[in-house]
Amino acid sequence: METKTFADLGLSPKVQAAITAAGYVNPTPIQAAAIPVAVTGRDVLGIAQTGTGKTASFVLPMITRLETGRARARMPRSLILAPTRELAAQVAQSFEKYGVNHKLQVALLIGGVSMDDQVKKLDRGVDVLIATPGRLLDHFGRGRVMLMGVEILVIDEADRMLDMGFIPDIEKICKLLPPRRQTLFFSATMPPEITRLVNQFLNNPERIEVAKPATTAKTITQNFVYCPNGEDWAKREVLRDLIRGNNVKNAIIFCNRKRDVAVLHKSLTKHGFNAGALHGDMDQASRMETLDKFRAGEIMLLAASDVAARGLDIPEVSHVFNFDLPWAADDYVHRIGRTGRAGHEGHAISLVSPDDLKLCKDIEKVTAEAPVWLGDPPTEEDFASAGKRRRGRGGRGQSSGSDKSRRQSHGSQRGGRTGEHHARSSQHASRPAEQGAQQPERRHRQPEHKAPQPDQHHTEAAEHPHHERRRAPRPERTPQPEYAEQPKRSSENARQPQRPRPVPARDAWTDEPASAQRTARHDRPERREAPKEAPRKQQPHKADERLGFAENVPAFMRKPSRPLKVPGRG
Instruction: Note the pLDDT of residue 172.
Output: 95
Q: Is 51 exposed, middle or buried (0-12, 13-18, 19+ CB in 10 A)?
A: buried
Per-residue 3-state assignment (H helix, E strand, C coil) for 172-205: HHHHHCCCCCEEEEEECCCCHHHHHHHHHHCCCC
In this structure, are residues 341 and 318 in contact, taking their beta carbons and an 8 Å threshold?
no
Domain boundary among 358, 378, 394: 394
Residues 6+ apart with CB under 8 A from 246: 319, 347, 349
Which strand ranges, in their side-by-side order, compose the sheet holding 206-209?
Answer: 106-109, 128-131, 78-81, 152-155, 182-187, 44-47, 206-209
105 and 147 in a single domain? The answer is yes
209, 236, 252 - which closes a domain = 209
Residue 48 lies in a domain: yes
Claim to verify: residue 296 and residue 236 sit in the same structural domain: yes
Question: What pLDDT is stored for residue 484 in this prediction?
Answer: 45
Q: Is residue 21 part of a domain?
A: yes
d(CA 211, CA 33): 12
pLDDT of residue 567: 65
Q: Do 245 and 378 fall within a single domain?
A: yes
Distances (CA, A) of 103 to 94, 126, 407, 476: 14, 11, 65, 96
Is residue 122 situated within a structural domain?
yes
Are residue 56 and residue 33 in the same domain, yes or no? yes
Query: Domain boundary residue among 166, 189, 209?
Result: 209
Report yes or no on 421 lying in a domain. Answer: no
Residue 174 inside a domain? The answer is yes
pTM: 0.55
d(CA 225, CA 240): 13
Total domains in the chain come to 2
Task: Kindly state whether residue 496 falls inside one of the protein's structural domains.
Answer: no
Q: Which of 332, 353, 340, 331 is nearest to 225 (CA)?
A: 353
Which residues does residue 184 pair with via DSSP β-bridges, in sequence order? 44, 154
Handedness of CA 94, 100, 104, 108 (dihedral sign): positive
Q: What is the pLDDT of residue 400?
A: 38
| Predicted pLDDT at 58 | 95
How deeply is 42 buried, as exposed, middle or buried, from its count of CB atoms within 10 A (0-12, 13-18, 19+)? middle
Rounded to the nearest 10 degrees, the angle between the axes of helix 29-39 and helix 54-65 is: 20
Query: Are residues 82 and 172 both part of a single domain?
Result: yes
User: Rounded to whole angstroms, how far apart are CA atoms 173 and 186?
Assistant: 17
- The answer to whether residue 109 is domain-embedded is yes
Co-location of 182 and 226 in the same domain: no
Structural domain of 370:
220-394
Q: Do 286 and 230 belong together in one domain?
A: yes
For residues 161 and 188, membership in a common domain is answered with: yes
- Do residue 361 and residue 262 come from a single domain? yes
Same domain flag for 235 and 338:
yes
Are both 284 and 184 inside the same structural domain?
no
Do residues 263 and 169 share a domain? Answer: no
Q: Is residue 401 part of a domain?
A: no
Residues of the chain falling short of pLDDT 50: 1, 389-470, 481-494, 503-526, 542-545, 547
Instruction: Identify the CATH number of the domain in which residue 229 sits.
Output: 3.40.50.300
